[in-house]
Structure 1
Amino acid sequence: MVGHSGFDDYFEVPGGDDFVDITELVVAGARDMEPEEVLLMDGFTLMDAMSAFEIGEPRLDSGMILEEQRRPPFDPLTPLLPEEVCWILDRSFACEMEWHAGKTLSQSVFTLLFVHHLPDINPEYLPPVEHDDPARPQWLITVVVRAAMLGLLKCCDLAWRELSKNRVNDVEDWQGEKCDVSLLEGINAEIVSRILDNACDWLRRSHFSEEQVTALCDRLLLRKITLQLYRADLLNNPSQSQTDAAIALALLHKIRTTQQSPPPPNSPALLAMDPYIARRLPNFMPIRVTELPPQEKIWEALEGFLGYWQEVGKLVTSPSLLKWEAAGSLQFALCRSVAPPYHRSLVQSLFFDRNLVLGAHPTIWLVNNFFQETIGISYESIRHALERSAPQPQLASMQDIIERRISQLMVPHVRSSWYNPPRRRRHLMKEVLQWHMLYNMLLNDVDEHRPPDDATANILRVIPQAAQLWRLSATREVIISGFQQELYAPEEKPIAYWYLACVCDAHLECIEEVLPLIPQDTPAYRELSYQAEHLAALQMISTALVTLTAGYITSPWRRISLNFVRRYKWLFNPDFERLVPAHPIPDLRSFPNALKDLLLDELYSPFASLELARNILLRLAESPHEWLGYWETDRKEYLRKMAEGCDRLKRIAPANLRELPNFDLSSLEWRPEVHPWMPTSNP
């Protein structure tokens, strides 16, 4: 029936119908196999085969090549023009940036086919060419392209080594699968750097025009300097990396202003990119074919990538917990795009590695700076105060426990600012309990002491509050991050703002208790003074938003209660019950009365609250924050953005609560890219 001419048009088989029956061949081969013996292709295990039937493994179809996917065979020695080589070098940066953006190597770097043919373009293994085309000499491939490919792979190797330290998470933050392709792990980076230099020397002696030589050399030099940045000893020579990053950015700007035109459709350079290469590589992940972005997008990504090295250099020259805390938290507060996984891993490694902080300080440095920068009192003074007030000779073991607990808390806390946002939020949730346990420990230890004078008594009073300040700050960040990650349902938002206001109140009370006891000439005093005004503005904004969003609460109270317990389960940990109360306690039963009292306050004005908060924020933005150094500018930008958010809300906020029933809830819109936790007025 299939052979009937009337049915030919309905039975078109992909690839044609000239198949050969191999049934007898398979049967004959099976006779030679033992029972339960299985033949598997390289890189495909029995588990893979079983999974294919369960989940529809995409790799089963990887060998199928559609007509539009057919490509001519790739010859790595096909002659190329200098302009075509420039395009290939540009796309090598595209491949690298896409890997750092989260794609697999088989979707990015390995799609550049020259990386699979390095032995074939090694000039030491090739005979001399007798009739070489002067416009397309083979040396362009064997010297220039080869040097660039070696530089690309070595950069990926050095990045892979940092990324594999488990500071960031494979598959979640980056893709580490190498597909059995070498990243030049056994070749010294200095050798690759010299090969890049030799390629530039050859170009300068070539017959190409000055414009062509400059274009090619600029790209090779950019690769060389990028390689130097990966190799840089940031802890011992941060100034060199700053200089290299500045040079790389200048080269990038020059390349962008003299950008080359893409090759024509019939150019052999286009065959150097094969997005379907993954079907020929051993993969454990499903194959997904993706396109590389336009080159201008790549240059923007590379500019940001190089810029992060400059900020990392500023961080390692800033041995201050306040500065590291500001640098980490402000990137979330300003809604900036998350740094590439490589730099997030690098920052974490630089901060603490091999039991040293910033490569030079023992862990006691963390304890000293924790107290000095939080409450303005040195750890030495605290130890003396504890020794003078101890009722009996104090056991050193208690101090060791406190020191160890602070060190174990501070290292992951600082590092958490360079986690991805969801992981950072989960870490802070767990950290809230750890800070409260430290507070409870310090409180119990201090209560056993009898201070001989007022100065010692003041030091003892303020010691536990250091941990309390960090706990309340972490709690605030968890609540705010819920808005930034768009976790809250509409009816959860007024409750979140209410609890945020409660946390700000408790934080303000803690600061008011501590501030008079802190030396006024310390960065801790200036930071806490700033935080007092900042939290006051934050509390006013949160309270105003409780009134504006109260109309979202329409579900039954039982439903709201269940959601509340799930959302704030990190505060309902049974371990809290063994400790002193962690105020403010998240008691949803107090919310209805608090909301009722607020809505019945005839003197309360959401508009006036937002106006006052705006004025406080603008005044803070005009004040100096010199103790933050480089990140003073970022803090002022954060304050101005929050003031702008108040301005947007003022346009729609009622002047008093009598006008609240007429408030249109649809005028509120949460857009994290505009502000992480404040709504904007919907035009």
Structure 2
Amino acid sequence: MYNPSVMDALAMDVDYDIPGGDDFQDVTALFAKANAAMDPEEMVMMEGFSLQDAMSALEIGEPRLDTGMSTGRQRPFNPLTPLLPEELCWIMDRSMAYEMEWHSSNQLAHTVYTLLYIHHLQEIDPDMLPYAYLLVKDPNRPLELITIVLRAWVCGLLKCCDRVWRKLSKSELNDTEDWQPDKCEISLSEGWPTKAAIARLADVPSQWREALTVRLRFRLYLLQLIENDVHDNSSQFRELVHEAQRHLSTIRSYPTFEPTEDSPAHATFDPYIARRLNTFMPVRVVQLPTREETWAKLENWLDGLEELTRLAEITDVATWDIVGNLRNTLPTPTLRPGFAGFHDYFVSLNRFPSSWLVDRFFLETIGEGRYNHIYVANGSIHPAGVDTFVKEVLQWHIIYDMLHISTMEYLNTDTDTSDLSHRDLTLLLLTPCVPLYYRYSCMRDVILSGFQLELYSENEKDFAYWYIAKIIEGQLELLDRFVDFQAGSQDSETYQEMFFQRIFLTALQIMCEAMFLLLVRSNKSRSQPWSQMRQNLMRRYKWAFSENYEDYATPPVGNPPDLRRYLIEMGKVMDDNWNSASEAFSMAKSILSGLIESESAKANGCVGGWARDWKGERLKILDILAETCENLAKLKRKSKERKLIWDPTKSLWFPLVEKYEE
């Protein structure tokens, strides 16, 4: 039978391998003796660590100074302490909560590594058990629950983290900013084959209670999903997603279990484990989400993976772009590993030839993918150059510069263009506009993301809205040309998409101009002089003022922003007593409401041309913006000052009025 005193005695045989050992001694007398030999006000200097360094660390309250502080830990952890099946379920659920917190950009040392079994896998190896443990028998707490079931589950957890770590490290995400890669010199079973981890999970005997079996199978499917590539076999990947979703639903159906205060399960987690790991990060206790919140995060993850299977079967670049923008605007937590892998695959262009991507961009923007025959015959463009197609402002300018120069050279040569039809000649002139259009979109998204991330100070917000309005103005000019060019094919997806974008961006431009009007009038006495504000703007928009554009023959369009024009228009707004921000928001709401009504009634069930299965989410964006317009439109110019609430979780890119007149 289970005897706690016997198990605690056996725990003395377990090597905890604490860095530096655990045989600490009191050295107070040693320091007192050394201090006695020093004169008053005498100091001992240390190379590389000055008195200023020491005082600065104390002054700022450096958290790492508390790393060695005793936390009064309750009972010693013994990895071979027998547990009840329900206690194992609690440990597994809590570990998944920590795993989700790592995916939310927390440190491994503060999340996954707090499960102490990770640091004692060798001790729970059934082939390495001390003989004394084999003599302890308890039918309610069989030791195999630890050495076989829990060990297999922990191995699967580590392998999931290892595979995710590898995907994230190869993605476009920035470590220590978008995710935390520090392993603290703890192995994530990197050298252990994933197939072996899958086999260990699959080989766990099925006689254990169903709740344990479901969790083991769920971990098995998670590992298989992370290991497999959606592009290799999308149907098989979808089956794995559905199995994982089914098992998660079963797990959620079981009643919750909380171990008693004296349960040994509480000793299996140490939130202060970072004190004993090789890491430069200070100790931080992560506030765990509730069990339901953890299940919701896992559900969102699986829903995102299911969405990837649909994207993998779609060959429309515009649809990929729409979904990516929707995810940025309506983020779903814990989707980074899957989306990072998907977009890496997209950027590398391994699935399709470069010429295919060129054709898709032109086909989905101006309705024609035939531009190659004009250029390639003249030898003035090389499709391989589109490998630089990524959504960054400078790189879009590189493509624009290349196509603009090629077009001008073609038109300025002695080449006879009389054989070209009017449509082909128009198409030729439109080709540089395609990358310019996407460049405008990228610039717009970069600035709008600043509102979602709450980056702008009060003195910067009006400029951001002014600059967005100017960018959209240039984009609308291009959209007018695109729509006119496709006037004869109004039923095409490309025309529908461009038509949708023209109306949507018109409303967005009006909203930005109205916010500029509102903020300038409410902030006539600025807290910063113009010289300081100018420096701040140049730092904030350093991508727009970059000197890299000087390396290209074609001047950039849309940047750098004209600060002189901004000052002139700001002065006009202050002196203008006629234009009303409230009326502008009402107009924008009317445009958005009409767009929602017309798009919802379409027989093809597609908002725009390329939204496809994501129609509902696109309409949700329009609904949020329409509600924002309605809220801001009730802010009367002559009413008392109303506080604007800037909360990106409640309103996209725009504030809401705290209290307004009815």
Task: State the TM-score, normalizing by the size of structure 1.
Answer: 0.79
Q: Distance in 2 between matches of 1:589 and 1:174?
A: 40
Q: What is the match of residue 374 of structure 2?
A: 385
- Structure 1 residue 246 and structure 2 residue 242: aligned? yes
The structure-2 alpha-carbon separation of the partners of 1:73 and 1:486, relative to structure 1 and needing over 3 Å to count, comes to closer
Deviation at residue 434 of structure 1 after TM alignment:
3.7
State the Cα distance separating 1:322 from its structure 2 match: 0.3
2:612 and 2:287 map into 1 onto residues whose CA distance is 42
Q: CA deviation at 1:223?
A: 0.9
* Structure with the bigger percentage of helix: 1
Matched, 1:399 2:404: no
Instruction: Give, in whole Å, the separation in 1 of the partners of 2:516 and 2:640.
Output: 14
Contact kept? 2:104, 2:334, Cα under 8 Å: no
> Is 1:682 matched up with 2:658?
yes
Aligned-partner residue type, residue 74 of structure 1? F
User: Given that residues 497 and 545 in structure 1 are in contact (C-alpha distance below 8 angstroms), is that contact kept between their aligned partners in structure 2?
Assistant: yes
In structure 1, the partner of 2:78 is: 75
- The TM-score with structure 2 as length reference comes to 0.82
1:186-585 to structure 2, matched below 5 A, reads: 186-203=191-208, 213-334=209-330, 336=331, 339-353=334-348, 357=349, 359-378=350-369, 381-386=370-375, 394=378, 396=379, 398-400=380-382, 403-408=383-388, 410=389, 412-413=390-391, 427-428=392-393, 430-431=394-395, 433-434=397-398, 436-438=400-402, 440-448=404-412, 450-452=416-418, 453=420, 454-518=422-486, 520=489, 521-551=491-521, 552-555=523-526, 556-574=529-547, 576=549, 579-580=554-555, 582-583=557-558
Q: What is the identity, as a one-letter code, of the residue corresponding to 1:138?
A: L
- 1:133 counterpart = 2:138: yes
| 1:572 alignment partner AA | F
1:23 positional shift: 8.5
SS in 2 for 1:571: coil
- The one-letter code sitting in structure 1 at the alignment partner of 2:215 is R
Structure 1: distance between partners of 2:513 and 2:135:
82
2:545 and 2:559 in contact (8 A); partners too: no
Structure 1 equivalent of residue 43 of structure 2 = none
Shift of 1:545: 2.1
In 1, the alpha carbon distance for the partners of 2:449 and 2:621 equals 15
CA distances 1:405-448 after superposition (whole Å, capped 9, x unpaired): 4320x2x32xxxxxxxxxxxxx54x4464455345434433433
Kept in 1: contact 2:218–2:244 (CA 8 A): yes
Q: Is the 8 A contact 2:586 2:633 kept in 1?
A: yes
Q: Is the 8 Å Cα contact of residues 64 and 282 (structure 2) preserved in structure 1?
A: yes
Identify the match of residue 620 of structure 1 among 585, 595, 603: 595
Compared CA separation, residues 581 and 151, structure 1 to 2 (3 A): closer
- SS of the residue aligned with 1:265? coil
Does the 8 Å contact 2:396/2:435 carry over to 1?
A: no
Q: Is 289-298 or 53-62 further displaced after alignment?
A: 53-62
SS of alignment partner, residue 387 of structure 2? helix
Give the Cα–Cα distance (whole angstroms) in 2 for the partners of residues 123 and 387 of structure 1. Answer: 67
User: How far off its partner does 1:574 sit?
Assistant: 4.5
Q: Does 1:669 align with 2:640?
A: no
1:421 paired residue number: none
Letter in 2 for 1:155: C
SS in 1 for 2:249: helix
Classify 1:88/1:435 alpha carbon distance in 2 versus 1 (closer, same or farther; 3 Å).
Answer: same
Name the CA shift for 1:170/1:586 in 2 (closer, same or farther; >3 Å). closer
- Distance, in Å, in 2 between the alignment partners of 1:371 and 1:513 is 14
Q: Is the 8 A contact 1:242 1:313 kept in 2?
A: yes
Q: From the superposition, tell whether residues 368 and 432 of structure 1 become closer, same or farther in structure 2 (CA, over 3 Å).
A: closer
1:43-78 Cα shifts (integer Å, max 9, x gaps): xxx999999858577666544424x23x43322221
Distance 2:31 2:447 in 1: 65
> Deviations for 1:659-683, whole angstroms, at most 9, x for unmatched residues?
x3x2545343222112232221112
| Residues 174 and 341, structure 1, Cα contact 8 Å, conserved in 2 | no
Change (3 A) 1:100 1:486: closer
Conserved 8 A contact 1:100-1:341: yes
Change (3 A) 1:404 1:648: same
Is 1:366–1:407's contact at 8 Å kept on the other side of the alignment?
A: no
Q: Cα deviations across residues 148-170 of structure 1 (Å, max 9, x unaligned)?
A: 11111111121122122253222
Percent identity among equivalent residues?
Answer: 34
Q: Distance in 2 between matches of 1:632 and 1:677?
A: 21
Q: Distance in 2 between matches of 1:435 and 1:665?
A: 47
SS where residue 134 of structure 1 aligns? Answer: coil
SS in 1 for 2:76: coil
8 Å CA contact retained: 2:624, 2:652: no
Asked if 1:181 corresponds to 2:186, the answer is yes
Distance 2:639 2:534 in 1: 26
Measured in 2, the distance between the counterparts of 1:290 and 1:535 equals 41
| Distance verdict in 2 for CA 1:102–1:48, change over 3 Å | farther
Distance 1:173 1:436 in 2: 30
For the structure 1 residues 613 and 80, does the alpha-carbon distance in structure 2 shift closer, same or farther, using more than 3 Å as the test? same
Q: Secondary structure at the match of 1:102?
A: coil
Q: Does 1:165 align with 2:170?
A: yes
CA contact (8 A) 1:364 1:407 kept: no
**Aligned AA (1:548):** L
Tell me which moved more, 615-624 or 319-328: 615-624
Distance in 2 of aligned mates of 1:317 and 1:219: 30
CA distance in 2, matches of 1:615, 1:24: 80
CA distance in 1, matches of 2:273, 2:434: 56
Aligned residue identity for 2:495: Y
- Aligned partners of 2:468 and 2:512 also within 8 Å: yes
Distance in 1, matches of 2:341 and 2:556, equals: 38
Deviation of 1:467 after TM superposition, in Å, equals 1.9
- For 2:152, the equivalent position in structure 1 comes to 147
| Residue 370 of structure 1: how far off its partner (Å) | 1.8
Query: What's the CA shift for 1:486?
Result: 2.6
Q: 1:675 and 1:89 mapped to 2: Cα distance?
A: 37
Cα deviation, residue 581, structure 1: 6.3
Amino acid at match of 2:375: L
Q: Deviations over 1:565-619 (max 9, x none)?
A: 4444433345556534625763233335445656777774433432232222123
Q: Structure 2 unaligned segments of length 5 or more: list them.
A: 1-22, 35-45, 600-605
Q: Amino acid of the residue matched to residue 485 of structure 1?
A: L
* Counterpart secondary structure, 1:639: helix
Do the aligned residues in 2 keep the contact of 1:367 with 1:406 (CA within 8 Å)?
yes
**Alignment-mate amino acid for residue 524 of structure 2:** I
1:529/1:80 CA distance change after superposition, 3 Å:
same
- Opposite residue 385 of structure 1, the aligned amino acid is I
Deviations 1:123-168 (A, max 9, x none): 2334584451111111211221112111111111211221222532
- Alpha-carbon distance in structure 2 between the residues aligned to 1:504 and 1:545: 15
Q: 1:150 and 1:333, CA in 2 relative to 1: closer, same or farther beyond 3 A? A: closer
Question: What is residue 208 of structure 1 aligned with on the other side?
Answer: none
